[in-house]
Copies of this chain bind each other. A is one copy, B any other.
Amino acid sequence: MIEEKGILFVLSGPSGVGKGTVRKALFEKDTALQYSISMTTRAMREGEEEGVDYFYRSKEDFEKMIEDNQLLEHAQYVGNYYGTPRTYVEETLDKGNDVFLEIEVQGALQVKKNFPEGVFIFLSPPSLEELKNRIVSRGTETETLVMNRLKAAKDEIELMDNYDYVVVNDQVDRAVEKVQAIVKSEHCKKERVASQYKKLLEVSN
C-alpha cells in the first residue's frame, strides 16, 4: 500500500459567497475529510467539547502560541482570539488524513504564508451582482454595509492569484463536485506519489 501524507485544503472567498454552505454540503458527501478544529480564547458553551468544537485556551496561552508561530492563522473577533493550531493540522496530515479548512480571505493568506504546501481553493461568486443579491437577501445589512462588503469582495477577488484553484459557486452541488475533484486529483499529483510508486514497483519485482 501507498502510505501517503494527508493534504491541507483551504476553502476561502469573499464574505457572502457561500463558503459555509459549500463546506457543509461537502462534508455530508465526503466523510474522509477532517474539518480543521480551531483554537479559541472564548469560554466553552454548554454542549461544546474540548477538541471537538474548539480547543479552548487562555488568552496568555494563545498569545504565547502566536509568539511561537504555533498558529497557521489567527484573528480577533469580539474580544476573543480564534486561530488554527499548526500541531493539530500536522498530526492529522501525518496520520494520512486530509484536513479541510474554511476561512476568510485574510486568514487564508496567513495560512498560505505559514503552510505553503496546502492547496488553496478560491470560491468565487458567479458575478458581483449575484454576490450583492446574496448579501442583500440576508436582510441584516444596511445599504452602506452592503456597499462596504462589495468593496471588500472586489479587493478580495484581486487576491485570487494567491490560490491554486478557482471554483465558481453558481450551484452548490456543482461547486461541491469541483472541490471533490480537486481533492481526488491532488492525491494523484506526481510530486506527491511518484517516489512511493517507484519504490512499490521495485519492491514487488
Interface size class of A (residues with CB under 8 A): 35 or more
Asked whether A124 and B197 contact (CB < 8 A) given A166-B188, A167-B188, the answer is yes
* A152-186 residues at the B interface, CB under 8 angstroms: 154, 157-158, 160-161, 163-168, 177-178, 180-182, 184-186
- Chain B residues positioned under 8 Å from A184 (CB to CB): 177-178, 181, 185
- CA separation between A44 and B82, bound complex, in Å? 69
Assess whether A80 is interfacial by the CB under 8 Å rule: no
From DSSP, what is the main secondary structure of chain A's interface residues? helix
CA distance A157 to B168 in the complex (A): 37
A189 at the interface (CB under 8 A from B): yes
Number of copies: 2
Asked whether any CB of chain B lies closer than 8 Å to the CB of A145, the reply is: no
Interface presence of A193 (CB below 8 A)? yes
Q: Bound complex: CA of A194 vs CA of B121, how far in Å? A: 12
Q: Which of B129, B167, B198, B205 contacts A160 (CB 8 A)?
A: B198
Alpha-carbon distance A180/B185, docked complex (angstroms):
9
Interface residues of A (CB under 8 A from B): 2, 121-122, 124-130, 154, 157-158, 160-161, 163-168, 177-178, 180-182, 184-186, 188-190, 193-194, 197-198, 200-201, 204-205
* In the A-B complex, the 3 residue pairs with the closest CB atoms: A127-B204, A181-B184, A185-B185
